[in-house]
Each structure stands twice: as structure tokens, then as C-alpha cells.
Structure 1
Amino acid sequence: MVALRPAEQRPAPLFVSTSSTAVALAAPAKLNLFLEVLGRRRDGYHELATLMVAIDWCDTLEISLGAEGERYLECEPAGSVPCGPENLVWRAAELLADRAGRKAAGWRMRLSKRVPSQAGLGGGSSDAAAALVGLQRLWKLALTNEELLAMGAAVGSDVPFFLAAPVGWCTGRGEVVAEERMACPLHFVVVCPPVGLATSRVYAAVKLPAVPRDGSGVREALRRGEVSALGECLFNRLQEPALELEPLLGRLHRRLAQAAPFGACLSGSGSALFALCRSRSEAVHVAEKFLRQQPADEPRSRVVVVQSLAPDRTCKEKSGGHHGSAHQAV
């Protein structure tokens, strides 16, 4: 099945509904159009240079004020992600409460997961960014952007991007975000295999380049809206180790690359793959072709047609379901 997501979106996190006691936010996924690993850091992380774009495939986070000291996180589907302190949503809420002097403030949250975990799509980080933004609204906190970004970086490397989406050039361990310009919407086919990859395993296997690849070409192509040039510049240093760690990814990558006009690329540390297309109709055609050519012995992957978020669009994703989206069976 190819899932078609609504094109009308705006940056993340996205308020779906608000009141004085409750908010609902859509938390979008992201794709890495370029990712170079520059070296290892003393703190155990890797130094990166990556171009990230938010896409219109969203989780939903509903937040309401709770009784004093109350902490409650419900996750759907049940068992999809942890619902305790190990969840980045919980960690973000606790960090904000601590730094804002709101330790006694209670909260209740309901997280509806649609973006797969361990896929390199940033779903958990986006959910955490939504928690920070939502609680800031409910608690009426006058935080600066710098304060919010610093808290995001303390929760996870990708969280600051989702506080500054839809497009960003990210450096450091990924937490230093410089906003980028995007001349036109981008269309993608995203393939999510039925297996995930642990980020730590992929980074442990990466081979550092003697001469890092330069990202100026991909950034310029994005600014100019030159889709063909952008497609030629897609790159991810983590792709090689990810494909070596999970043989199924190699098979899927070869098939998607053959079906797509500009080949295929890994997002983040995987396991999701994506193909850039020139239009939504071309993306649908590529997705259908990819599914049509699936070998009988290959586990079925989730295939989704998405579009990049635009700054002046409104998110149609509603809480509790897939309202505003269309699904096309192939």
C-alpha cells in the first residue's frame, strides 16, 4: 500500500488545536538529504554535517494539564514505544519542568505513533520537540529561542532541528542548526523495512573519510530548486555500514534505486530509505513500480509518498487518527 500524505503543511512542531488546558501537536518526520561524518569527538559523539528536511508524515502528541505532580504518558499503538522516563517525550517534559521551576506541575500526554522507530526519520526527537513547545504554551513560559534550543539539545541531537524546521543545515553532533532556504516543495518515496537499526551500531561501523565530502553542492541545489542537481548530490556516509549490517536494506536499496529517477539514499542511520522525485505523480509512479517488482521472498516494507513541509502551510493531520490523509492501495 502507498500512503499519500497531505501536501498542505507548515514548520514543526505544528499546533493542531489549543485551549487554556490542552494542546495537540503534529510532530513530523525528517529526511537527511546529505550526511557526512567528519570525525569522532571526545564526548563519544561524532562530528556531523547534514542537511535535513521535515516531511508531512507526522506523529500526534496531545498534552493536557494534570493534577499536581502527575505524570502520565499513553502511547498508541500499545507497545510501539516505551511510555516511561526512557521516552524522549517524558525526558523533555521533565527537563523543561526542572529548568522552568515547574517540578510540581502535572501533565498528561497521549502520543499517537505513525513514524516508525529506529528508521532514521527522527520520530522520537520530533515528539520531544512537540512536548517542549506544547508545555511551554500551557505553562505560559516566556522562553527565548536560545533557551528552548539548548533544552532540545540536552534531550537529543536532532531535537533542535525540529524546533527550527522545515529545513536546516546541522553541524556539531547535529544540534547546531542553521536555517536553510528551499526554493520549492520536494517529493519523496520513503521505504521503511520491517527491521530497525540501532544508531550506535551504525556509527560504530562507519569508516571516517580521509577527505570529507563537501555539502555546498546539495545546499545550493536546494536553494535554487534544481531537483535534478539535488538528486545527484544526495549522500549519506552512514549508508555503507547500514547496508552491510542489514542485508535486507541492500536488496531494498538496489530495487528503489532502479525504480527512481535519482537513485535511493538512506535517511539518518536507517533503516528507512528514500527516493527524490520531480513531482507527486512521479513519486506515486515510483512507489507503485517498487511494490509491483517486490520478489516473493522479500519481507513487505511500508511505502509512503510524502512532501517536504513548507513554512506557510497548515498541517491537516488530526489527533487520534489519520484524518486529512489519503491512502492508495497498489
Structure 2
Amino acid sequence: MMLHTSPASHCTRFHATHRPFAASSCCPTPSHSARRTGRRSKAVVVLASANDSLALFSPSKVNLFLRVVRRREDGYHDLASLFHVIDLGDDMQFTQLPAGATSDKLVCSDPTIPHDDSNLVIKALNLFRRKTGVQAFFEVTLEKRVPHGAGLGGGSGNAATTLYAANELTGRPATNPQLLEWSGDIGSDISVFFSNGAAYCTGRGEVVDDVPPPLPLATPLLLVKPPVGLSTPMIFKSLDLGRRSTADPLQLLAGMTNAGKISPELCVNDLEQPAFDNLPELLQLKQRLIKEGGSAFDAVFMTGSGSTIVCVGDDTAPQFLSEEQYQQLFVSPARLIVRQPGAWYEHSSKAAAPAAVPAAAAAAAS
């Protein structure tokens, strides 16, 4: 996650306008980073057949903790964060176009999504061609479920999935470490999806180290997002370095890994301060989830730069979410997922991820 990021390609589920929605030890050693091993592959040209296609699940992520280590002289921030890929995601279909095609085609379930070079999917395809020399073009169909401005990395997941698909459809001209390295050219959260699913990320987010999943993959999560997103540049600009946590990120990692569970003390996110300063209703939502979730939730915290609140330990929506002022919230269960070597991510059910249910319906079913 960088301060200065390329515009993300998302389909917007919610309007990004402000609307009130509520009443007023031994540290585990991460494996070596694959990013350091990438080399540019030799230029190749692959001629497409009209039937080359691939359907993939495009996941999102949560930050189980996020420490801002320092503000750099170049305006970026050095971070230390434990990322985990989750099974809230989108469906993507890739078809390699016949030889002679000169442009990509993107079709999305949200008609407002841009289809030009500002889109992370198109950026990923342009990057793949530039790095590999493979002159292949693709038609991409994107069914969106992950909300925009959520801190869930939905657009980054789309870009990572696109890089993986283009590589598969053209005979794997690049290695996984190369895809990981190249992905940082277009977005700071994309690289984490080329990990095994659990990753300790440092630097600006470009150093990605695989770690064992710190929690059982079956741990239930509940994601709750208000109908307003938060701008990552705005959040970093509002960050008060004097109000950060002083927790050692490696100790946070060790605490989760050794215990196999989490607690509020471990789920530190230094970006909560600027997010809550800019959107006080988000703090109120977090506090009410803690209060009314009772002992069901092991921890409640914001992921990324917001505005999604993650509840760990139960995926049952508290009854208060059925109240009128919460009708527009995005509410969804989720699970942690990993991927097998040489494969891409699958939903935890090994089927298409279910669409998120409205808050009222989720609460009524509890």
C-alpha cells in the first residue's frame, strides 16, 4: 500500500459521497522474498487461437495488522503489515483473441467502470506485454462483488488475476517471482496475491514474504462496510505519526502465529486514526460492533485504509444492522484462503463466491 498509487480499476458499488449511516518472544522468520529474484523474460511472440479461455476467481484481502513504520523523504511510507487473502471476490473470464487483434476488450457487470488504460485490468495486460514481449490481446469479463474504497484490494486482486491468466494462456513465459516483481509497477497491493495467501509485507509493500497462515483457515470473518469509501492518499495525508502504535510488528506476527488466534491488542492498524478522524461514523460503527457482538468476536478492526470493518470469530451479523440507518451497508461473511503451488486461488467452497447480502437480510437471518 503506497501513498501515491495508480488509480484503481474497480466497479463502484457505492457512491463515494459522505452520507450519515449511524446515530451520532520468538518471532517467526518469514521466508525470503520472491520479489528479489525476478528477471525480465526473453521476448516471445505467441499467436492466439480463438478458443483459448480461462475462468478464475479473483480474491480480495484483509490486513490483520498494519503498522506505519515511518514517513520517507520521497513522500511514501514504509509499512509492516500482515496480509491475508480472503474468499470475498469477483469472477473473471479471460479469452485470448485471435491473431491480428490489436486491443483488449473489458466487459464488467458495472457499466460505469472505465475500460481505458486507467483500469488496473488493462494496465496489467499492457504490463504483461511490455515485460514479456508476448503480443497477445484478450477479452476479459469481470463480475464484480468486492466493493470499491473498502481497503479490501478488490481492484488489486483483479490485476493480479489478470497477470496470472495472461501468463497461463500464453504458455507461462514468466515465473511467479517475475509476476510478483512486475506487479509493483502498477499498484502496491497487487504483489501480495502472488504470495501463498498469507504474507508479511514491508517497505512500501513491495517486499512480500510468505508466512504460515496465522489463523485456522476456517476462522469465520464478517465484513461490514458503510456506503462511503475512503481515499488512500487522503488517509495517509491525515496520518498523525505521533498517534501511531508503538507495537513491534514482528512481535504482533509472533503473537498471532504462536497463539493461533487474534486479540484486539494484536490487530493494530495505524490508519484507523486518520480514517476515524475523517469519518467519525466509522469509529461509531466499530464501537457498536464490539459492544453488540459481545464475546462472539475475538477482534474488530479496520482493514487497509478503510472503510471496511473486519469482525473475527463469527460471521453472524448483529441484530442492530437491520436498523434503518444501516440499510445501505455492505455486509458479507468471508474466510481466509491460500493457494497451492502453481495454481490460482479458489473460493473456500471451491465454487463461485456468494454475493454479499444486504445488512437487513443478514441480520434477520441471525
Cα root mean square deviation, aligned = 2.5
Q: Secondary structure at the match of 2:185?
A: helix
Q: Secondary structure at the match of 2:285?
A: helix
- Deviates most, 131-140 or 204-213: 204-213
Tell me if structure 2 keeps the 8 A contact 1:20–1:138: no
1:96 partner letter: F
1:202 partner letter: I
Q: Does 1:181 align with 2:212?
A: yes
The CA deviation at 1:122 is 0.4
1:259 partner letter: E
Query: 5+ residue gaps in structure 2?
Result: 1-49
Q: Does 1:220 align with 2:254?
A: yes
Which residue among 318, 329, 351 is the counterpart of 1:288?
A: 318
The CA deviation at 1:307 is 1.0
Structure ranking higher in strand proportion: 1
Tell me if structure 2 keeps the 8 A contact 1:181–1:222: no
Tell me if structure 2 keeps the 8 A contact 1:256–1:263: no
Change (3 A) 1:251 1:95: same
Equivalent in the alignment of 2:63: 32
The CA deviation at 1:44 is 2.6
Which residue among 261, 268, 278 is the counterpart of 2:304?
A: 268
2:336 partner letter: S
**Larger Cα Rg: Structure 1 or Structure 2?**
2
The CA deviation at 1:22 is 0.5
Query: How many Å separate the matches in 1 of 2:227 and 2:158?
Result: 21
Q: Secondary structure at the match of 1:202?
A: helix
- Normalising by structure 2, we get a TM-score of 0.75
2:329 partner letter: S
Equivalent in the alignment of 1:97: 129
Tell me if structure 1 keeps the 8 A contact 2:245–2:268: no
* Alignment of structure 1 residues 64-79 onto 2, 5 Å: 64-67=95-98, 68-79=101-112
- Normalising by structure 1, we get a TM-score of 0.83
* Alignment of structure 1 residues 199-218 onto 2, 5 Å: 199-209=232-242, 212-218=246-252
Equivalent in the alignment of 1:259: 292
The CA deviation at 1:154 is 0.8
Aligned residue pairs total 299
Q: Does 1:306 align with 2:334?
A: yes
Equivalent in the alignment of 1:242: 275
Q: Secondary structure at the match of 2:237?
A: helix
Kindly indicate whether structure 1 or structure 2 has the higher relative contact order, using CA contacts under 8 Å at least 6 residues apart. 1
Equivalent in the alignment of 2:158: 127
Tell me if structure 2 keeps the 8 A contact 1:29–1:123: yes
CA distances 1:36-78 after superposition (whole Å, capped 9, x unpaired):
1111223332110001111111111211111421211111122
Q: Secondary structure at the match of 1:93?
A: helix
Q: Secondary structure at the match of 1:42?
A: coil
CA distances 1:111-162 after superposition (whole Å, capped 9, x unpaired):
1110011110000111000000000011113312321111111111111101
- Deviates most, 181-190 or 150-159: 181-190
Equivalent in the alignment of 1:82: 114
The CA deviation at 1:290 is 4.3
Amino-acid identity (%): 30
Q: Does 1:168 align with 2:196?
A: no
Query: 5+ residue gaps in structure 1?
Result: 1-18
